[in-house]
Structure formats: structure tokens, C-alpha cells
Amino acid sequence: MALLAIAAASLLPTAAAADTGGAGQVEEAPTLSNTPFDRQGMWVWYVERSSGGSIAAMVAQARRAGIGTVYIKAGDGGGAWSQFSQGLVRALHRGGLDVCAWQFVYGDSPVAEARVGAAAVAKGADCLVIDAEGDYEGKYAAADLYVRTLRAKIGETFPLSLAAFPYVDYHPSFPYSVFLGPGGATYNQPQMYWKTIGTSIRAVFEHTYLYNRLWGHPIYPIGQTYESPGRGPLKLFRRFAASFGGLAPSWWSWQETSGREWGALAARSASRPLTGYRQEVTHPLLKRGSRGDMVVWAQERLIGAGQDVPVTGVFGKLTRAAVRAFQGVHGLPADGEIGTTTWQALLNFPPYRMAWAGSSALARAGASSARVRPPSRPLSASLPARAYEIDPGPAR
């Protein structure tokens, strides 16, 4: 796959001294271990519409299809969903299933949203998923406050993932660098709905992994059983997943899965990597004029590597100088661009953690205040989405 560059045209200034959003620090990523994400999963929107709401029927169906983890909606914004209860979790556990809670978040009340997620964990969830989509674009301060509040409540090592848009390059203002940055989610579950996007399974894997491998977390692809994709494509998706690291996929969603599709999830032949296919491990190209959250991530990594650069999300002359200096120190061609070779070196350094929410908001993270005013964010946070590969639509 050809390396892609972020659009060069920009109306944003490359300020020499941008507001960083407060003090930050360099952090190491936690060590990962086996989790429920490693079992093939199925997502549940409404329990009552999944196998008629019968727990016994759900357990039986999951066993037949090789499903080991169920992802059940536990909250929407600052409101908890009553369907996610200790009784439900215990019943599914007795059936041999892991139970992962997921919540749809908007970023308007991040502390309240964090409390909803923490409450699901307290009810016995084995893992938690942040479903953040178009509503969160540009909301760096809210994402920062949400993640810090959530981690303070559930602990730094509890299995936490982000399920967001798969095409990172389409969403330059989405705070992936916060949700998947230091102290955030340590698992990545991109919504790779190839049929909805209107592309091939091979293309959705190659495009998604090109960008998502930058975050340095295990990638567990989410495929689709809605819109009747058919038995063959589901098996092919599983084989591509096996070829791209072998991590188990999960599927959206239970209530829209037909009998033949359940069978495709159970087919042993679909667990093998593709014959003759080899993925090309490359990284996107960033250079002077690039803008977006990937630039934020690169700037945070440059600081972690000892370079002095403002975190603006805009690749200007100061960022270019910092890249050249980094390349010089590490014996790389000093062209001032971040391509695959430079990314590979840069990703060895921990990112600098920005405090976008500001010190006063962070100090109140455990208190009653749920809104961030005024927000702090990089210059690139005002950029519109290039496109929506998946219609953000109404909340799920």
C-alpha cells in the first residue's frame, strides 16, 4: 500500500509557542497480559433482542459459534443502562463467557461518563470499551478528563479498549492520541465494517492497520454481521484477521446475525491465515504541512525522545527541525520527514502526556463538576473530518 500524506494545505499558523493545555509528563505503557479481548466476541446492543433475551439461549448460541466474550451496552453518555447488571454478568459467567461492558460517549459530561464506565466495572465486567465517534472530534480536554477520571476509578491495569472510526486519516481532529495515549486504553478495536464503508475486506484491513499500528496497542478488529454480509465474507474477514497478527475479531451485532452467519463464525477453516498473502508493514508519511492528531502523536513522541517542540498538531518548521535533530541523533537520513524508518525509531520512545483539561479541571476530576470550560486543545482540533467512512448517525 502506498504511503499516504496528510493534506498539506493549511489555514492554521505554525505557532512557535502553542498552549500545551497544562503540565505534562512522559509515561511508559503498561505491560499487557491475556484478556477477554483474546476470545472471539459478539456485541450486544439490546439484550432483550438477542436470542429473545434468554441467557440460556445466548450461552448456547455463543458456544456453537465459538464466541467467548460478549460485549454488552452498559451506558449512553452520562446515563447507565439497567440491562447491564450484576445478575446478568454472573449468569453469563456461569455459562463460561467473559463479559465486556461498552459505553457510547459524547464528551459533553466526561466525569459523568467516566462514572458510568466505572459503575459497569464494579458490576463485574471483565473489560470495558469506550465507543467514541463523531461527537468526540475536537474534544481533547473532555477526552483527557474522561480518561483520567475513569482510570482513577478502575485502576491503571484494568482491560480498557477504544472502539472508534477505523480510518484515522479521515478524522484529523479526533483525539486518538488521548484515548490511546499514556494512561488511556491499551487495546484498540477499530470498527472495520467493510460493507458499510463500501470497500473490500483486504482494503479495510490494509487501510486500518497502516494508521492504527502507530498507537502501539494490540489491534482487535471489529467486523460486521449486520447488512447481511454473507457467510463467505465473514470467513474471509476471519482469515485476514489471522494474517494481520492473529488477534481475535469481534462482531457487530448479535441481534442482526443470521443462522448462516453464526455458522461462519464457528468454521474452523476460517481461523487459518491466508495462503500467499503477506501484509506490508509500513507507516504513514508526515511532512511539512501535515496536520491532525497523527502529528500530535508524533510531536508527543519527539518530546519523549528529548526534542523541544510545541504540541500543535501542525507540522511546521519547528517540528521539521525537531525531526531532523532526532534523525541526526539516531543515524537516520535527516530529511525532516517522518516516514516508516523514522516512525520505527520514534515509536521506541514513550510519548509525553499532555494535560489538555488543565490543572484545575483535573484537580476536580473526582468532584461533581462534569464539564470542561474552556477547553484546551491543539490547533489541529478545529479541522473537519475528511469524510465519514461509517456514518456517525444516532447513538447506539
- pLDDT tens sequence across 173-225: 999 999 999 999 999 999 999 999 999 999 999 999 999 999 999 999 999 99
H/E stretch holding 161: strand 160-163
Q: Is the pLDDT of residue 21 over 80?
A: no
Residues 333-356 have a mean pLDDT of 97
Give the CA distances from residue 75 to residues 1, 79, 144, 276, 319, in Å, rounded to whole numbers and listed in that order.
38, 6, 19, 43, 40
- pLDDT at position 380 is 98
- pLDDT at position 24 is 52
Q: 384, 174 in Cβ contact below 8 A?
A: no
**For residue 137, which phi and psi values (nearest 5 degrees)?**
-65, 130
C-alpha cell at 273: 491465515
CA–CA gap between residue 150 and residue 114 (Å, rounded)? 5
Strand 250-252 versus strand 127-132 pairing type:
unpaired
Q: Is the pLDDT of residue 326 over 80?
A: yes
Peptide bond into 10 cis (omega under 30): no
Question: In the Cβ-directed half-sphere of 244, how many Cα atoms lie within 13 Å?
Answer: 27
- pLDDT at position 300 is 98
Q: What are 291-313's pLDDT values in tens digits?
A: 999 999 999 999 999 999 999 99
CA–CA gap between residue 322 and residue 354 (Å, rounded)? 18
SS3 163: strand
CA–CA gap between residue 186 and residue 215 (Å, rounded)? 9
**How does residue 376 score in pLDDT terms, banded at 50, 70 and 90?**
confident
338 strand-pairing partners: 286
Give the CA distances from residue 120 to residues 82, 88, 127, in Å, rounded to whole numbers and listed in that order.
10, 12, 9
| Least reliable range by pLDDT among 45-59, 166-180, 281-295, 347-361 | 347-361
**Rg, the chain, Cα only:** 21
Q: Is the pLDDT of residue 375 over 70?
A: no
- Fold adopted by 282-356: Muramoyl-pentapeptide Carboxypeptidase; domain 1 (1.10.101)
Looking at per-residue pLDDT, the higher value among 396 and 48 belongs to 48
- pLDDT at position 358 is 82
- Altogether, the residues listed in the chain come to a count of 396
Give the CA distances from residue 152 to residues 58, 114, 156, in Å, rounded to whole numbers and listed in that order.
33, 10, 7
| Least reliable range by pLDDT among 139-143, 146-150, 163-167, 354-358 | 354-358
C-alpha cell at 308: 523541544
Residue of 252, 211, 212, 216 lying closest to 234 (CA atoms): 252
Look over the chain and give the mean of its residue pLDDT values, rounded to a whole number.
89
- Given this structure, which CATH class describes domain 37-271? alpha beta
Strand 69-76 versus strand 79-80 pairing type:
antiparallel
Q: What are 7-20's pLDDT values in tens digits?
A: 333 323 233 333 33
What does 167-210 look like in DSSP terms, one character per residue?
Answer: -GGG-TTS-HHHHTSTTS-SEE--B--HHHHTS-HHHHHHHHHH
Q: Is the pLDDT of residue 366 over 60?
A: no
- pLDDT at position 224 is 98
Q: Where are the domains of the chain?
A: 37-271, 282-356
Q: Is the pLDDT of residue 94 over 60?
A: yes
What is the pTM (predicted TM-score) of this model? Answer: 0.89
Across 30-34, 146-150, 372-376, the highest mean pLDDT is recorded for 146-150
- pLDDT at position 23 is 42
Q: 392, 134 in Cβ contact below 8 A?
A: yes
| Least reliable range by pLDDT among 11-15, 87-91, 252-256 | 11-15
Residues 6+ apart with CB under 8 A from 205: 192, 221, 240, 241, 243, 244, 279
- pLDDT at position 9 is 30
- pLDDT at position 361 is 60
C-alpha cell at 36: 477477554
H/E stretch holding 74: strand 69-76
Site of grid cell 494490540: 218
